[in-house]
Structure 1
Amino acid sequence: MPHTAEWKVRLHLFEDDDGTTKARVVLDTGTTALTGHGTAHCHPADANVPEIGDELAAGRAMTNLAQQLLDTAERDIEGVGAPRPSSQVTGWPE
């Protein structure tokens, strides 16, 4: 059965005066929303390169969001009566 969906993702970046960059990424599936968070800190001895802080904070927020999405999928799999995935991977590789 063919299936097509479009999910919206928004990434928000905030940098404080102290060299802290925070990221919030929101995934909207149309029926639910998940929010991931990430933070990066610039060491006082390092050069202030905002792009690096953005990349680190955004990457960490997306990693957090990805884990939440995987956890949600596992709960949904269990909800339809399928066994929880084991540590031994079968089927398609990632």
Structure 2
Amino acid sequence: MPHTAEWKVRLHLFEDDDGTTKAQVVLDTGTTALSGHGTAHRHPADANVPEIGDELAAGRAMEDLAQQLLNIAERDIEGMGVPRPSTRQVTGWSM
């Protein structure tokens, strides 16, 4: 059974005067929305390169979102009655 879907992702970046960059990534699946968050803190002695803070905060926000998606998928698989092995590998569904 073929399946096609389009999920929309928005990434918002905010930098404070103190060198803290915050990121929020929002995933809209059409039926649900998830939000991941990440921060990066520039050391006062470091050069002010906003792109680095953006990259770190965005990467951490996406990592947060990815973990949420993996947890949801794992719960969905368990809800189907598939036994959970000692490793995160489930037959037919690589985790």
Residues 5 and 88 (structure 1), Cα distance of their counterparts in 2 relative to 1, 3 Å cut: closer
Aligned residues: 94
The Cα shift of 1:47 comes to 0.1
* Structure 1 residue runs without a partner (length 5+): none
Structure 2 letter corresponding to 1:66: A
Which position in structure 1 is the counterpart of 2:11?
11
Decide which moves more: 49-58 or 84-93. Answer: 84-93
The Cα shift of 1:87 comes to 1.1
Aligned partners of 1:5, 1:19: CA distance in 2, in Å? 38
Decide which moves more: 48-57 or 76-85. Answer: 76-85
Give TM-score scaled by structure 1 length.
0.91
Structure 2 letter corresponding to 1:11: L
Aligned partners of 1:88, 1:69: CA distance in 2, in Å? 14
The Cα shift of 1:77 comes to 0.7
Structure 1 segments, 4+ long, off by >3 Å, are 88-94
Structure 2 letter corresponding to 1:78: E
RMSD: 1.8
Which position in structure 2 is the counterpart of 1:53?
53
Counterpart secondary structure, 1:36 = strand
Deviations 1:37-85 (A, max 9, x none): 0000000000000000000000000000000000000011111111225
Counterpart secondary structure, 1:65 = helix
Give TM-score scaled by structure 2 length.
0.90
Aligned partners of 2:57, 2:41: CA distance in 1, in Å? 9
* Structure 2 residue runs without a partner (length 5+): none
